[in-house]
Amino acid sequence: MRITAIETIRQPDRPAYLWLQVHTDQGLIGLGEAQRGIEAVDAILHGPVAAALLGDDPLDVERHNQRLLGGYLGFNASSAETRAAGAVDLALWDLLGQALGQPVSRLLGGAVRDRIPTYNTCAGDGYNRQQDRRVVRPGGPVPADMDDQAWFMHAADELAGSLLDDGFGGMKIWPFDPWAIDTGGTYASAAAIRAGLEPFERVRRVHGAAMELLVELHSLWSVPAAQRICAALEPLDPLWVEDPVRRMDDAAAVAAVARATRIPLAGGETLASRPLFRDLLTRDALGTIIVDLGWCGGLSEARRIAVLADSWSRPVAPHDCSGPVCFAASVHLAMHAPNAAFQECVRAFLRGWYRDTVTDLPSVAGGFVHALPGPGLGTRLLPGFIDRPGAIVRRTTLETLK
């Protein structure tokens, strides 16, 4: 089999996203995806990546992943190059599965479970639509476009009731973000802490231990600010505090927060390359390792990171909020990795734009996610997706390669 074309698709209503289709001379098409900085990712895919891949056999997934992540192609970084390599890696695993007629979880060596616990990340359907995230501030009128994010800022106990009705036993929210944005993350005031605690307290007061609380800090805070937030959260017994500090690649900073609190930390979705995870693990900085399959450089690299975490007896919890193709791939990894503890999901995306993008989605029910059974990743872009008005489609072949 040979790679004949690299094709990217961008849609005007999701400008933070890109889809990659790797075409072959046997008619099989591998599907990948990238998020954030995608103009740069697009340029990398049609330049150095196309030059490296076109005419080559796509089924040596490991060789391509090593080549695209290292040296002067990937620069061993958390970067647009890495996200391009991640999109390619997802597409090549998809091709390998289609060529062999097996789901990706089986190609990894088989599944150790048939479902994985999930929790809901309380974003709305429009979250991450642009390159910047939506911020909802407390107080003020309840917005007309009430979604899970606005709901947790205004009535987190009601949102928790709705999630419990949907079978979710865990919810992740980020009520401290507005103050981090106001101060550059340097100062968590007593007033900010009081306001940020309020949604968590409402859930505990109404629902007791029925709902696990997950605290998202979005890599926004300095070490002392994160320490103060964690200290205030301790009586509420959250499952974890995620990405507490601005520099999650600074293992010393993350470890300083970890040493100061009883709450286990989780994090890593913005990081790529194993040495950064090794440093965090060596310093006992993280309880749960979070990895984004696209951002870290692909399913291949995420698997290596999961094995590394297992060597420190740490669970992994693949990231979502990234796109439906990445989500499908993440669930395959979560079926295979013995130390996978949770698979993140966003119910608003699963009901909304994910459904408007791909043919099949992993099923989420009763607080668990099931992997797609079909060959490869098990999903395709919806018919007509590529022809939607305003779609930006680029295609590079050996003939058009500059």
- Where along the sequence are the contacts to Mg ion (CB under 5 A)? 269
Residue 219 CB, nearest approach to Mg ion (Å): 8
Nearer residue to Mg ion within complex by CB, 87 or 290: 290
Nearer residue to Mg ion within complex by CB, 7 or 269: 269
Contact at 8 Å (CB) between 377 and 362?
A: no
Token pair recorded at residue 126: 């429009």
Residue 52 CB, nearest approach to Mg ion (Å): 31
Nearer residue to Mg ion within complex by CB, 212 or 269: 269
Nearer residue to Mg ion within complex by CB, 217 or 372: 217
Query: What distance in Å separates the CA atoms of residue 116 and residue 315, rounded to the nearest whole number?
Result: 13
Residue 240 CB, nearest approach to Mg ion (Å): 10
Query: What distance in Å separates the CA atoms of residue 286 and residue 316, rounded to the nearest whole number?
Result: 10
Residue 127 CB, nearest approach to Mg ion (Å): 12
Residue 47 CB, nearest approach to Mg ion (Å): 30
What is the number of alpha carbons within 13 Å of residue 290 lying toward its C-beta? 24
Residue 147 CB, nearest approach to Mg ion (Å): 18
Nearer residue to Mg ion within complex by CB, 226 or 381: 226
Rounded alpha-carbon distances, angstroms, from residue 29 to 133, 148, 166, 295, 331? 32, 35, 35, 22, 20
Residue 341 CB, nearest approach to Mg ion (Å): 15
Residue 242 CB, nearest approach to Mg ion (Å): 5
The residue behind tokens 């290596």 is 304
Query: What distance in Å separates the CA atoms of residue 146 and residue 144, rounded to the nearest whole number?
Result: 6
Among candidate residues 81, 70, 152, the one with its CA nearest the CA of residue 295? 81
Contact at 8 Å (CB) between 333 and 299?
A: yes
Residue 295 CB, nearest approach to Mg ion (Å): 11
Contact at 8 Å (CB) between 116 and 367?
A: no
Element spanning 35, H or E: strand 29-35
Nearer residue to Mg ion within complex by CB, 17 or 93: 17
E-assigned strand segments in 88-199? 116-121, 170-173
Nearer residue to Mg ion within complex by CB, 44 or 309: 309
Contact at 8 Å (CB) between 84 and 22?
A: no
Nearer residue to Mg ion within complex by CB, 6 or 248: 248
Nearer residue to Mg ion within complex by CB, 295 or 354: 295
Query: What distance in Å separates the CA atoms of residue 239 and residue 195, rounded to the nearest whole number?
Result: 20
Nearer residue to Mg ion within complex by CB, 218 or 303: 218
How many whole angstroms from its chain centre is CA 34? 11
The residue behind tokens 């009535």 is 155
122 secondary structure, DSSP code: -
Residue 48 CB, nearest approach to Mg ion (Å): 30
Query: What distance in Å separates the CA atoms of residue 4 and residue 25, rounded to the nearest whole number?
Result: 6
Query: What distance in Å separates the CA atoms of residue 34 and residue 255, rounded to the nearest whole number?
Result: 30
Element spanning 200, H or E: helix 190-207
Nearer residue to Mg ion within complex by CB, 148 or 269: 269
In this structure, the chain runs to a length of 402
Query: What distance in Å separates the CA atoms of residue 280 and residue 301, rounded to the nearest whole number?
Result: 16
20 secondary structure, DSSP code: E
Residue 316 CB, nearest approach to Mg ion (Å): 13
